[in-house]
Structure 1
Amino acid sequence: MSPEILHEAAEWLVRLDDQPSGRDREAFRVWLAQDSEHLEAFQRMQETLAPLQVLKQQRLASPVLRVVAVVVVVVTALALALALAL
């Protein structure tokens, strides 16, 4: 799986995390249909970031925590992409 696909999957996780628009949901469905690896990458990102769901479930509304969560998602996605590329 390419680092680019993993990066796209991470971006979709962020975009879909907080009340995505109908346009975003449709664009996501199109993206998934484009390549079977897209679903696999998205699921891998979800599994990798599952511990962060604890923050979401606790409904921590702090803007700072939301920014931290997004940064962690991006950094984790990049680290995973680099590990797979090696």
Structure 2
Amino acid sequence: MNTVKRWVAERKLDAQKVGANNWMRISVDSIKRLLQSGDENVKGFRRLKKQIDDMSDLDFNVTKEDLQEMSDRRMGKLPWGN
């Protein structure tokens, strides 16, 4: 949400405020232009989406026993602990 607001403020996206709550209406053409612009933030979002998509076939089914085992482990010592 904040990224989109920033892009509007930077005029990377064209938006019109509508309604009593000042919702922003952004045109599809404006979004298409941004996607084709080569903007570094857009490239970063695309890389992140690809990484998430690549992980979609991983099995993240965790049982209650798995969670208990993970919580029972001592993951290390805190720097301020004795």
What is the TM-score with the length of structure 2 in the denominator? Answer: 0.28
Bigger strand fraction? 2
Larger Rg: 2
**Which one has the bigger helix percentage?**
1
TM-score by length of 1: 0.27
